[in-house]
Every structure is written in structure tokens, then in C-alpha cells.
């Protein structure tokens, strides 16, 4: 079957819209007719080869669509079901079996290997050249794509699929880091570094959890103004003031919780220094392999702080995505305010707007 898809062919180069052949779903897969897909910063860094992911490849990992075909061994989906797509995992390792599939020991291979476990890909181009598929088990920048079924989450028949794709990665990451890992107590303080889609999702989640001091830190002033509109109690423009001093002044003691969504080494160090005694900080921002950040072990030993490295909000997507949808329906997680839709043909513009800071969470609509 033919499908239109956006193909990454080289670093720092626009995705190419091509007509590809997509094969039939394997027994553990569903074929999904994509309705929409969010674009995550991770799509951009993989296009640019921060991690060694083979190209050409169809990226995209915040898909939402309708089940078109069902593999023989799949029992939980029917043709016509609406699904939001999350990452894939092996389901057999200790982490998967203990309720932490986002730390699956096979996570990198399964999500970044862009091949099935048997080495095949779902896509090939007009010359018969194979094109990588199954990025995060889904490769959602394609109108039709084969998806590992256990990564898909069934949603209600009237669910707004044009909106929900980003719950599968960026928003699950920010909200999950806060709700599943940091778990701020009502009345506590939290500092969030980076006011992109991930940081803003963290902010909305912190507000929903009852944190009463929510400090957003960024170097882009308009993003900070928007954060204030959506619930930040304080903002810090860290290009003009020292964020550690500012956070200590606002809180008196340092922040009870902190989240670094930038992956910038200096920001990670700032986060560790801005925490209160026995505070808890988390890193979700991605950096190139081998990136190191300074950590003052001399001073911080006595602080009793905790630092967590968090993948995909340590979520179980089939539990957490419906929870986020319910929070959204109740008006407590208004993530629709972060999104902007683009036609599929404008996908490269969407990447540019996201990189330049004008769009927080682009969603391409097929």
C-alpha cells in the first residue's frame, strides 16, 4: 500500500515528503491511519543525528489516528478504534515487569533502532530502498504506518485526535516527571527550567498537584509572559539575572522541587544549586551522548538533595494518558493552549517555528 511520509535523509536538512510503500502489519502490530502527529524536540535532534539513528527514516512519535488493520495476535483493538501512540518497550525485562516500561532495558533499540526486532522495516521507497520505520514503535510522520500494538492507547470515540498526539511524548514527559516522579506536595515550591512544551506541561501538572510557588526560568521573554498567563507564580529571565539567586530569594530556602527541561549543562548545575535541603530535582532535557555537567559534590553532600533522570515521565502510557485526558476534560490540564496545528505539507515550517520559539507544540494534521 502507498503512503505519503516525511523522510529524514540528512542532518540539518528539511524532511522530504515522499510516496512510500508500507507493508502489512505484523501479528503484533496495528496499521494506523494517522489523523495528526505532534512534533517533539527529539524529532529535531534525531533528524540532526545527535544519536546514531540510521537514515533515511520516517520520524514522528506523537501520533494519533484510527486503526485501519489489526495484526493476527492483537486482541485489544478493532478496526476503527481511535488511538494515541506512545513509545514501545519489550514487555519482558525487569523494568517492564515492575511497572517502569519507559526504562525498558531494550528501550534504545526498540525506539531508536528504526527496525523491527527481525531487522525489517515497514517502509520502502520507489527504488525499493528500505526506509527506517518504527521510530518509537510508530514513525508517525506518515499517513499510514505500522505500530507495535502495545504502545497504542485506545481513547473514546469522540476524542479530539487532532489534539491528543503530544500526550504520547512531550506532554507525558513534563507532566509525568512532575506527577509520577517529583510528586510535589500541596503548598510546595517548584522551579522549572525551560518553558517549551515539556516545561509548560510540567508547570500545568505542578499547578494541578497544588504546588503554590511555581517559578518558570527561560532566556526567551515572551515564553515567560505566556507561562505567567497559564499559571506561573514567578518567572525568571536567566539571561539577565542569576536564576539560583532569584529562586533562593523567592522561596527563602530554595525550591522543594525542580525540573530541567533544557539539557544545557550550566542549567543542570543551576538546578542542583537552586534546591532546598532534601529537595528533589529531575532532568528530562536531552543532551548529546557524552555531555557532562558540573555538580558541586563538596557543597551539595550536606544538602540531602535527590536528582532523578527521567524518561517519558516514568509513565505507563495506558494508565497515564487517559489520566491526562481526564485532567484536561476537568479543566485542570489545559494543554490545548500550548498547541498550534500545521498542514502535513508544512511540516518543515513547523520544525522551524518550534526551534525559533514561536510555537510551543506544533501538531501536523494529515
Ligand X SMILES: NC(=O)c1ccc[n+]([C@@H]2O[C@H](COP(=O)([O-])OP(=O)(O)OC[C@H]3O[C@@H](n4cnc5c(N)ncnc54)[C@H](O)[C@@H]3O)[C@@H](O)[C@H]2O)c1
> Quick one: which of 17, 45, 93, 230 contacts ligand X (CB under 6 A)?
45
8 Cβ contact list (under 8 Å, min separation 6): 15, 46, 47, 55, 56, 57, 58, 59
The answer to the question of residue 226 lying near ligand X (CB under 6 A) is no
Cβ of residue 165: shortest distance to Zn ion, in angstroms? 11
Task: Report which of 300, 304, 324, 301 is spatially closest to residue 312, judged by C-alpha positions.
Answer: 324
Which 16-35 residues touch ligand X, going by CB under 6 A? none
> Quick one: which of 29, 218, 256, 314 contacts ligand X (CB under 6 A)?
218
Q: Which is nearer to ligand X, 40 or 131 (CB)?
A: 40
The answer to the question of residue 58 lying near ligand X (CB under 6 A) is no
Q: Which of Zn ion, ligand X, none does 223 bind, CB closer than 5 to 8 A by kind?
A: ligand X
Cα-based torsion angle of the residue sequence 39, 40, 45, 49 in order, rounded to the nearest 10 degrees: -60
The answer to the question of residue 166 lying near ligand X (CB under 6 A) is no
Binding mask 30-69 for Zn ion (x = CB under 5 A): ----------x-x---------------------------
Cα torsion 103, 108, 112, 114: sign: negative
Task: Identify the H or E element spanning 202.
Answer: helix 197-208
Binding mask 91-120 for ligand X (x = CB under 6 A): ------------------------------
Do the strands 29-38 and 16-22 form a parallel or antiparallel pair, or are they unpaired?
Answer: unpaired
d(CA 355, CA 144): 27
The answer to the question of residue 181 lying near ligand X (CB under 6 A) is no
> Quick one: which of 17, 264, 293, 300 contacts ligand X (CB under 6 A)?
264
Binding mask 301-320 for ligand X (x = CB under 6 A): ---------xxx--------
The answer to the question of residue 197 lying near ligand X (CB under 6 A) is yes
Angle (CA) 357-362-366 rounded to 5° is 155
301 Cβ contact list (under 8 Å, min separation 6): none
Residues at the contact surface with Zn ion, assessed by CB under 5 A: 40, 42, 89-90, 93, 96, 104, 169
Amino acid at each position: 500500500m502507498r503512503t505519503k511520509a516525511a523522510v529524514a535523509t540528512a542532518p540539518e536538512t528539511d524532511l522530504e515528503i515522499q510516496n512510500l510503500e508500507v507493508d502489512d502489519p505484523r501479528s503484533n502490530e496495528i496499521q494506523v491511519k494517522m489523523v495528526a502527529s505532534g512534533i517533539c524536540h527529539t524529532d529535531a535532534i534525531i533528524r540532526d543525528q545527535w544519536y546514531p539513528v540510521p537514515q533515511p527514516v520516517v520520524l514522528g512519535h506523537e501520533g494519533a489516528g484510527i486503526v485501519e488493520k489489526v495484526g493476527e495476535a492483537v486482541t485489544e483493538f478493532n478496526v476503527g478504534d481511535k488511538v494515541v501512540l506512545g513509545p514501545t518497550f519489550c514487555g519482558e525485562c525487569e523494568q517492564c515487569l515492575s511497572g517502569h516500561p519507559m526504562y525498558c532495558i531494550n528501550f534504545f533499540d526498540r525506539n531508536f533502532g528504526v527496525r523491527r526486532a527481525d531487522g525489517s522495516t515497514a517502509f520502502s521507497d520507489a527504488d525499493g530502498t528500505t526506509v527506517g520505520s518504527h521510530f518509537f514503535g510508530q514513525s508517525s510522520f506518515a499517513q499510514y504506518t505500522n505500530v507495535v500494538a502495545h504502545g497504542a492507547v485506545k481513547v473514546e470515540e469522540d476524542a479530539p485526535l487532532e489534539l491528543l498526539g503530544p500526550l504520547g511524548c512531550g506532554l507525558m514527559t513534563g507532566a509525568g516527571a512532575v506527577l509520577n516522579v517529583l510528586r510535589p506536595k500541596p503548598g510546595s515550591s517548584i522551579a522549572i527550567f525551560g518553558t517549551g512544551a515539556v516545561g509548560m506541561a510540567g508547570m500545568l501538572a505542578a499547578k494541578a498537584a497544588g504546588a503554590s510557588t511555581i517559578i518558570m526560568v527561560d532566556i526567551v521573554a515572551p515564553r515567560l509572559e505566556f507561562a505567567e498567563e497559564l499559571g506561573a507564580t514567578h518567572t525568571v529571565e536567566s539571561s539577565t539575572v542569576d536564576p539560583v539567586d532569584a529562586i533562593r530569594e523567592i522561596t527563602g530556602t530554595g525550591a522543594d522541587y525542580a525540573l530541567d527541561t533544557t539539557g544545557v549543562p550550566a542549567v543542570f548545575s543551576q538546578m542542583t544549586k537552586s534546591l532546598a535541603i532534601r529537595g528533589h530535582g529531575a532532568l528530562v532535557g536531552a543532551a548529546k551522548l557524552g555531555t557532562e555537567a558540573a555538580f558541586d559534590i563538596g557543597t551539595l553532600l550536606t544538602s540531602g538533595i535527590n536528582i532523578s533522570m527521567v524518561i517519558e515521565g516514568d509513565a505507563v502510557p495506558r494508565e497515564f494518558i487517559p489520566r491526562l485526558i481526564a485532567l484536561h476534560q476537568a479543566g485542570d490540564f489545559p494543554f490545548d493552549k500550548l498547541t498550534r496545528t500545521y498542514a502535513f505539507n508544512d511540516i518543515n515550517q513547523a520544525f522551524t517555528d518550534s526551534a525559533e520559539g514561536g510555537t510551543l507544540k506544533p501538531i501536523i494534521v494529515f
